[in-house]
């Protein structure tokens, strides 16, 4: 910092630095990099280590605006880009950020409309028995066909919903729709629904579940809730899971092995199912990955927990997983997400094949 530079708190956890007579962007970038490094250093408060980070948005006058309001608006857009890239980064404003922000605002308006006017839909991806090639259930996957952009990728859709605080509301909608659809399926079929952290931790989750089950008439044991390992880090997680178990619904741990899932997560709660990430290259080439799959299958047998390999992409990968003792799987090779009508046709064909074999 230089003599004459201004540092101000804008409110909450937002601060601003105003500099005059900046010679070049390199000078500003150097300051931003030093700020990121300084703030990221751990703090000791009452004997506890505190790690925080910062994201920085930068605007330059007169290039990015001639008045304070314009410069602050563009700095916010640059800050949003930095936050999207991950903690500990800085970004200079660029004109495309304004266009991106407008496009995102349009998507937000469209998403609210889609939710209120029932324009969202669910597709269903089968979980298959690797031995019989028969579906054992289907996972509900959210789809939104935007009138102008077409199909919005699920990751983008959920990111927008999270920013808007709509994840829990959309989760409740998904739950009701999936239960209503699954109630029409054969009695042996279950439906799996992903539950986001905001939805999982909301106070009304149990009530939403009871309402969805009562309205649809779906038996609780045919509903399976998939949660991410990160949810288990929250204080009330196990208590909530026990409530769900008391309702009779099945609970699955999703994405084991994809990030930081550990055996402590498996020990935290007696899951009915554990879905393991089975990247093709890792399973085929890594002895360590194969050993992990074998260990998980053995653990599942001991705990009476179903192990499902997620992400199966081809025949060789499927056979490899089956040889390791994994007998249930999911992935585009086994079956992509399809409409509700096509899922029902898939089930009908499976029933016909079983009857013919008998």
Cα dist from 2 to 19, 24, 63, 302, 315, whole Å: 8, 15, 22, 65, 64
Mean pLDDT of 197-204: 82
Tokens 């992990």 label which residue? 292
Q: Which long-range contacts (CB under 8 A, 24 or more apart) does 44-48 make?
A: none
| Number of C-beta neighbours around residue 68 at 10 A | 10
**Average pLDDT score over the chain:** 85
Domain extents for the chain? 6-93, 107-357
pLDDT in tens, 139-189: 999 998 888 888 887 778 888 888 888 888 899 999 999 999 999 999 999
Burial of 13 (0-12, 13-18, 19+ CB in 10 A): exposed
H-only helix segments in 41-166: 68-85, 95-116, 154-163
Greatest mean pLDDT range, 47-61, 179-193, 229-243, 269-283: 179-193
Gap between the Cα atoms of 356 and 358, Å rounded: 5
Q: What is the pLDDT of residue 59?
A: 93
The rounded distance, in Å, linking the Cα atoms of 216 and 183 is: 6
Dihedral angle computed from the Cα positions of residues 294, 296, 298 and 301, in that order, rounded to the nearest 10 degrees: -140
Q: State the pTM of this model.
A: 0.73
The dihedral through the CA atoms of 102, 105, 110, 113 has a sign that is negative
Q: How many residues does the chain have?
A: 358
Q: Which of 79-83, 312-316, 352-356 has the lowest mean pLDDT?
A: 352-356
| Superfamily designation of domain 107-357 | EAL domain (3.20.20.450)
Tell me: the pLDDT tens digits for 210-262? 999 999 999 999 999 999 887 877 778 888 899 998 999 999 998 876 555 56
CB 276 within 8 A of CB 296: yes
Q: Chain-centre distance of CA 82, in angstroms?
A: 20
Give the list of residues 6+ apart from residue 262 with CB closer than 8 angstroms, or none: 229
Longest distance between any two alpha carbons in the chain, whole Å? 87
The residue ranking higher by pLDDT, 156 or 310, is: 310
Residue 351's pLDDT band, with cuts at 50, 70 and 90, is low
Residue the block writes with tokens 């079956």: 335
Q: Is pLDDT above 80 for 280? A: no
The DSSP letter of residue 164 is: T
Two tokens, residue 327: 């007998």
Looking only at the bridges linking them, the beta strands covering 48-50 and 14-18 are unpaired
Alpha carbon distances (Å) from 290 to 127, 255, 310, 316, 321: 21, 16, 14, 14, 8
| Homologous superfamily of domain range 6-93 | Reverse transcriptase/Diguanylate cyclase domain (3.30.70.270)
CA 136 to chain centre: 23
Nearest to 139 by CA among 188, 169, 182: 182
Report residue 334: phi and psi, to 5°.
Answer: -80, -30
- Provide the total of helices (H) and of strands (E) in the chain, helices listed first: 13, 16
Distance CA 42, CA 273 (A): 38
Q: Which of 213-222, 265-274, 280-289, 307-316 has the lowest mean pLDDT?
A: 280-289
CA distance 4 to 330: 61
* Phi, psi at 261, each rounded to 5°: -65, 140
């Amino acid at each position: 910092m230089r003599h004459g530079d201004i540092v101000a708190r804008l409110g909450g956890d937002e601060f601003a630095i105003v500099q005059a007579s900046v010679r070049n962007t390199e000078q500003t970038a150097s300051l931003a990099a030093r700020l990121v490094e300084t703030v990221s250093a751990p703090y000791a408060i009452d004997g506890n280590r505190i790690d925080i980070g910062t994201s920085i948005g930068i605007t330059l006058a007169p290039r990015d605006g001639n008045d304070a309001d314009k410069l602050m608006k563009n700095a916010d857009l640059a800050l949003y880009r930095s936050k999207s890239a991950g903690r500990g980064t800085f970004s200079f404003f660029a004109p495309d950020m304004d266009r991106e922000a407008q496009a995102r605002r349009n998507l937000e308006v469209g998403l609210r409309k889609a939710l209120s006017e029932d324009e969202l839909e669910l597709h269903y991806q089968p979980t298959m028995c690797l031995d019989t090639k028969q579906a054992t259930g289907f996972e509900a996957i959210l789809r939104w066909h935007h009138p102008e952009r077409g199909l919005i990728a699920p990751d983008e859709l959920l990111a927008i919903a999270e920013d808007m605080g709509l994840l829990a509301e959309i989760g409740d909608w998904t739950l009701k729709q999936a239960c209503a659809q699954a109630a029409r399926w054969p009695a042996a079929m279950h439906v799996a629904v992903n539950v986001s952290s905001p939805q999982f931790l909301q106070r009304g989750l149990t009530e939403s579940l009871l309402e969805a089950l009562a309205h649809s008439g779906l038996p609780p044991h045919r509903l399976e809730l998939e949660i991410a390992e990160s949810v288990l880090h929250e204080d009330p997680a196990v208590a909530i899971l026990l409530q769900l178990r008391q309702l009779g619904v099945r609970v699955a741990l999703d994405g084991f092995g994809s990030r930081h899932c550990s055996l402590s997560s498996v020990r935290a709660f007696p899951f009915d199912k554990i879905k393991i990430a089975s990247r093709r290259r890792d399973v085929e080439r890594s002895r360590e990955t194969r050993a992990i799959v074998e260990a998980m299958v053995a653990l599942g047998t001991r705990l009476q927990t179903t192990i499902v390999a997620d992400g199966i992409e081809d025949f060789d990968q499927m056979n490899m997983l089956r040889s390791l003792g994994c007998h249930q799987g999911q992935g585009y090779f086994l079956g992509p997400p399809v409409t509700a009508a096509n899922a029902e046709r898939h089930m009908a064909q499976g029933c016909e094949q079983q009857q013919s074999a008998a």
